[in-house]
Amino acid sequence: MNIIMAKHCGFCSGVKYAVDTAMSLDPSNAYVLGEIIHNEAVVQAIKDKGLKVVESLDEIPDGSTVVFRSHGVPENYYEICNRRNIKVIDCTCAFVKRTQKIVKEQFAEGKFIVIIGEPEHPEVVGLLGWCNGSAAVINNPDAIPAEFASKELCVVCQTTFSAEKFEKIIKNIRKVCEKTVAVFKTICYTTVERQKEVEELASQCEAILVVGGMNSSNTAKLYEIAKKHCKNVFRLADADDLNYTKLKNFKSVGIVSGASTPNAQTREVLLKMEENTEVKATSSMADVVAKIDSESKFRKGQTVHATISQATDEGLQILLPFSKKEVALSKDELDCEVYNAADYVSKIGETIELLVVELKPSLKLSQKMIKLLAEEEALSSEIENGKEFTVVCTGTNKGGLTAQLGTYQVFVPAKEIRPGFVKDLTKYEGKTLRLRALEIKKSGRKEIIASQRVILQEERDARDAAKAEQEDEFFANIAVGDVVEGKVERVTGFGAFVSVNGFDCLAHISDLSWTGVDAVTDVLEIGKTYQFQVLKADKESKKVSIGYKQLQPQPWDLVDGKYNVGDIVHGKVVRIVPFGAFIEIEKGIDGLVHVSQISHERIETPATCLNVGDEVDAKILAVDSYARKMNLSIKALLPEGEKKRPQKAEGEEGTAKKSRAPRRANDDEVSSWNEGSIGGTSIGDLLASAQKNK
């Protein structure tokens, strides 16, 4: 039986720190809030030491000491402890702290928080306490709430959640959501590496052993992944759960363990398997140590010559100098477009040149990296001369962003990311950066210190210069009164923004129609081109006002021939004054019915007979389109000899008399209307003449 042990086994750094911290405490008056990790043996060891494990702060006396586990706690727990004089030893995982910070900041900015994870998991419960509990928790890709469509989302993830399941949920959220979705893949990188390794190992082995606590979330994820790629997967809490009879017929068995599994438990499983004489453990703890020792003679970046000994579907097996043990060379690390094992069978025994890429946790060699390095050196010369290059941001530190370009570490200081201050560096993770090198270190730790800000600043300066040049040319060739052609780009409640030769001009709503409009789109359509007249051009303030109505005929310009003396028109009373009533014939055109032309009877005021809003018929007595005036008569349409005057509805006349003091128009009021009459003839003369002709 061939036993293959995963490279990433045992405690992750966060769990190790929490356990070591708890075990180093004086147990008197010390408490652990919740299980330090999801492993029964470790929890029992902490209890045996004398520390008390509680589920609530209420169980902890004032003045005591409390350990916050790696899963984290709600934000208000710190305030509660401070108020009760409880000393906090915070062992919250760094990755969890980062997620808490994201949730707090994004919630403060008004985003709706979505947490991808298990609702009952303590990490998720803790995260809810960083956004006042106002968040949605999702663990099912097929259960995305429809309400997400109308919200701006911030999505984070439980650090031990399945990476594959996370991607499915994100994909489905993007299908539903119509607004901005800010996604933060907060899964711990060690979790991702373990999950990838389990997937690969399960595809290679006939059976897989998953070692870890039965209530451990990350161990459960490893078990689920292994089940997808291997039919025979066994989950063990410890060596006592190992049943060798179920394994003895398998030729290859892989062993993996969760981040909350002590190395001692995995070691006990290995030792129990080695007790069986049929088992040949090729990756026992002793073998791993011996292997690391044997690889120490190599150094990272060194080139070695190795002999091809086998060709399999997964790649090559090679023999290194001074070694009798074969080392695997993955097909992904070979310098070929498409790998075919048959092409390498004839090359068994040949020597190839390889680059040492990694030493720990195991030796990693590459052939294609040699070619990549040669290309990289050529590229570095171009980069030294100022050529722009791109990388994907892989992480952050206190000073800025980090990335990788071949074998070069790339560092972008925070002040060099973009013009202005960058508050949240984490939002650049996974984003492509456009960079120019500030400094290149080729010896020792190969590093490129680069700037994206200089590129963005140059482009901004170029745009500003081009815009300034365009504006100067625009204002040099435009003047008030010019007729210009412009395209309507966007509209607001107060007007339309029109592009004239690439410059934004404002057509105010009051300058769209002579008769007024309720909305800009009643006159102009977005995307269409119209003629406008320049009303104002201010180079200093960079503002240009244009009008559309100024190029359109006014209603009074169309009156001649349309309305003639003697015509009968229909209109609405729009205004009543002491000397008469104004009748709107059409939008923008109204005429005056003098108080003497309302009724054959003498009336004191027009309000006696008419109300604003009344629709009436009247006869045109005089019209002057130049002066924009029209004189009308209602009584001229009454049957000859009829003395009855128009009557208001019952109850209205009394009201009108109370609201207005009845009087005749004085001479100044009447003459103010008559001054523009035809040929200077007063309205009184015209009315007398019309009566005589009758």
Residue identified by tokens 């009108």 is 656
226, two tokens:
């292994």
Q: How far is CA 51 from CA 112, 417, 488, in A?
A: 39, 47, 73
Decide if 514 contacts 552 (C-beta within 8 A): yes
What is the DSSP pairing of strand 232-236 with strand 181-183? unpaired
Give the N- to C-terminal CA distance of the chain in Å, as an integer: 128
Q: What does the alpha-carbon distance between residue 668 and residue 672 come to, in Å, rounded to a whole number?
A: 6
Contacts of 210 (CB under 8 A, 6+ apart): 198, 219, 222, 223, 226, 233, 234, 235, 236, 256, 257, 258
b/e sequence 370-392, b meaning 16+ C-beta within 10 Å? eebbeebeebbeebeeeeebebe
Residues carrying an active site annotation:
123
Query: Helix (H, G, I), strand (E, B), or coil: what is residue 323?
Result: coil
Largest CA distance in the chain: 139
As a residue count, the chain comes to 694
Walk across the sheet containing 326-330 and list its strands.
Answer: 326-330, 315-319, 303-312, 351-358, 364-366
Among residues 375, 300, 365, which one has the least CA distance to residue 334?
365
Count CB neighbours of 483 within 10 A. 11
Instruction: Write out the DSSP string of 110-156.
Output: TPEEEEES-TTSHHHHHHHTTTTT-EEEE--TT---GGGGGS-EEEE
Q: How far is CA 209 from CA 205, 238, 285, in A?
A: 10, 11, 16
Q: How far is CA 290 from CA 201, 257, 294, 325, in A?
A: 22, 21, 6, 12
**What is the CA 648 to chain-centroid distance, rounded?**
64
683, two tokens:
């309205």
Among residues 262, 263, 267, 268, which one has the least CA distance to residue 46?
262
Decide if 93 contacts 71 (C-beta within 8 A): yes
Peptide bond into 361 cis (omega under 30): yes
Contacts of 498 (CB under 8 A, 6+ apart): 486, 487, 488, 489, 504, 505, 506, 507, 530, 532, 546
Long-range contacts (CB closer than 8 Å, 24 or more residues apart) made by 635-639: 635/597, 635/598, 635/599, 635/600, 636/597, 636/690, 637/568, 638/599, 638/600
Half-sphere exposure of 542 (CA within 13 A, CB side): 9
